[in-house]
């Protein structure tokens, strides 16, 4: 970094690219210096976000202008763009999933060792997760983790603009897009993931459609993890619960942003400062940007590492391939 402010370049201005860009524009420690997206609609979107930037002409221009590169393009482009950023000596912040091909992802992670890299799992900076950590000593030894994810439809209502790939089997689906976040939490609290068994359901008559239901048993270190997820199982746009069962009590994360603790009277108590996810997200992304600046300076951070993201990806892809075994 050549100044106190992080010079950030963004590749991909879809939903996630726009979210981080808006957070960066509001972040005193970050300057968005360049953006690139090949979509004509993205040019209009950028103009609606800020009048201080015009769309760069190429990926290469973004990489040259920035200290750190945020890659928020579809997953099949992550590795190529990541390699280009690292080859130019820039810090790399990849959107998850890590990639769309497991062997290629393994090679990429091996080749990127020692470089400034991270993957955008926002729970690394979530105030809700920080609250759960503060409560964690109260529940004793973690004995198991249970993850449930339900959706009225897929993609979710606000993701319809990205349905061209989110609804496809190759790169989309709720297991990659949503469940991976809760597997990240399980891995941080238990240890490295490994898949024990799984089953997946795909839509009949649609060989290209993403999954409609999954179930799995995994291990996070020595902690057993159970997962269930499905589409059409709730009337809400989505509903999720991650419950941590300890030897002395229970904690849970509800609907992304509500930290809850099971009290002695058997009632779940929500943290008094809890807020809806839409209100919490800017705080979380500000924390991610703080950590990205530290990463760019060469400091250790709590951002998700490539190795963590690879472990999650291997488990997710194993679940999605379970009908072929």
Per-residue pLDDT of the chain (325 residues; tens, 9 = 90+): 546 899 999 999 999 999 999 999 999 999 999 999 999 999 999 999 999 999 999 999 999 999 999 999 989 999 999 999 999 999 999 999 998 899 999 999 999 999 999 999 999 999 999 999 999 999 999 999 999 999 999 999 888 777 888 899 988 999 999 999 999 999 999 999 999 999 999 999 888 999 999 999 999 999 999 999 999 999 999 999 999 999 999 999 999 999 999 999 999 999 999 999 999 999 999 999 999 999 999 999 999 999 999 999 999 999 999 965 3
Give dist(CA 13, CA 15) in Å, integer: 7
Q: Do 23 and 46 lie in a common domain?
A: yes
From 121, 150, 168, the end of a domain falls on: 121
Q: Do 233 and 94 lie in a common domain?
A: no
The pLDDT value recorded for residue 16 is: 94
The pLDDT value recorded for residue 276 is: 96
The pLDDT value recorded for residue 325 is: 38
The pLDDT value recorded for residue 162 is: 78
Q: Do 320 and 177 lie in a common domain?
A: yes
Count Cβ atoms within 10 A of the Cβ of residue 30 and give its class: 0-12 exposed, 13-18 middle, 19 or more buried. buried
The pLDDT value recorded for residue 206 is: 87
Give dist(CA 292, CA 296) in Å, integer: 6
Give dist(CA 83, CA 117) in Å, integer: 11
DSSP lists the bridge partners of residue 217 as 197, 226
Nearest to 188 by CA among 269, 104, 130: 130
From 121, 152, 169, the end of a domain falls on: 121
From 87, 121, 155, the end of a domain falls on: 121
Number of residues written out for the chain:
325
Give dist(CA 118, CA 279) in Å, integer: 24
Instruction: Identify the domain containing residue 195 by its residue range.
Output: 124-281+312-324
DSSP lists the bridge partners of residue 304 as 119
Count Cβ atoms within 10 A of the Cβ of residue 175 and give its class: 0-12 exposed, 13-18 middle, 19 or more buried. buried
Give dist(CA 250, CA 191) in Å, integer: 19
Q: Do 86 and 151 lie in a common domain?
A: no
The pLDDT value recorded for residue 299 is: 97
CATH number at residue 268: 3.30.360.10
The pLDDT value recorded for residue 117 is: 98
Q: Do 96 and 137 lie in a common domain?
A: no
- Total domains present in the chain: 2
Does residue 215 form part of some domain? Answer: yes
Q: Do 166 and 116 lie in a common domain?
A: no
**DSSP 8-class letter at 236:** S
DSSP lists the bridge partners of residue 147 as 227, 242
**DSSP 8-class letter at 112:** T
Q: Do 182 and 261 lie in a common domain?
A: yes
Q: Is the peptide bond before 155 cis (omega within 30 degrees of 0)?
A: yes
What are φ and ψ of residue 114, in 5° steps? 85, -5
Classified as helix, coil or strand, 296 is helix
Give dist(CA 176, CA 166) in Å, integer: 9
pTM comes to 0.94
């Amino acid at each position: 970094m050549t100044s106190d402010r992080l010079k950030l370049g963004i590749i991909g201005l879809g939903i996630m690219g726009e979210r981080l860009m808006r957070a960066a524009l509001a972040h005193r420690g970050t300057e968005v210096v360049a953006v690139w997206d090949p979509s004509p609609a993205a040019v209009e979107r950028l103009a609606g976000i800020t009048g201080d930037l015009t769309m760069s002409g190429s990926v290469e221009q973004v990489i040259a202008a920035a200290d750190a590169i945020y890659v928020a393009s579809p997953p099949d482009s992550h590795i190529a763009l990541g390699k280009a950023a690292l080859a130019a000596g820039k810090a790399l912040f990849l959107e998850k999933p890590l990639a769309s091909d497991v062997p290629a992802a393994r090679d990429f992670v091996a080749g990127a060792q020692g470089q400034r890299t991270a993957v955008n799992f926002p729970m690394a900076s979530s105030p809700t997760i920080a609250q759960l950590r503060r409560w964690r000593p109260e529940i004793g030894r973690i004995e198991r983790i249970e993850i449930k994810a339900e959706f009225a439809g897929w993609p979710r209502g606000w993701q319809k603009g990205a349905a061209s790939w989110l609804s496809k089997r190759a790169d989309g689906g709720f297991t990659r897009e949503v469940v991976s976040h809760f597997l990240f939490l399980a891995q941080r609290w238990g240890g490295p993931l490994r898949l024990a068994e799984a089953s997946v359901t795909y839509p009949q008559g649609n060989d290209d459609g993403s999954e409609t239901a999954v179930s799995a048993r995994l291990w996070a270190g020595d902690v057993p993890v159970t997962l269930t997820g499905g589409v059409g199982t709730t009337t809400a746009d989505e509903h999720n619960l991650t419950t941590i069962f300890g030897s002395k009590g229970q904690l849970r994360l509800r609907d992304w942003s509500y930290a809850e603790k099971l009290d002695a009277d058997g009632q779940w108590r929500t943290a008094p400062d809890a807020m809806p996810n839409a209100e919490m997200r800017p705080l979380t992304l500000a924390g991610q940007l703080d950590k990205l600046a530290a990463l760019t300076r060469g400091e250790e951070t709590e951002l998700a590492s490539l190795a963590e993201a690879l472990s999650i990806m291997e488990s997710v892809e194993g679940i999605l391939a379970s009908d072929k075994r």
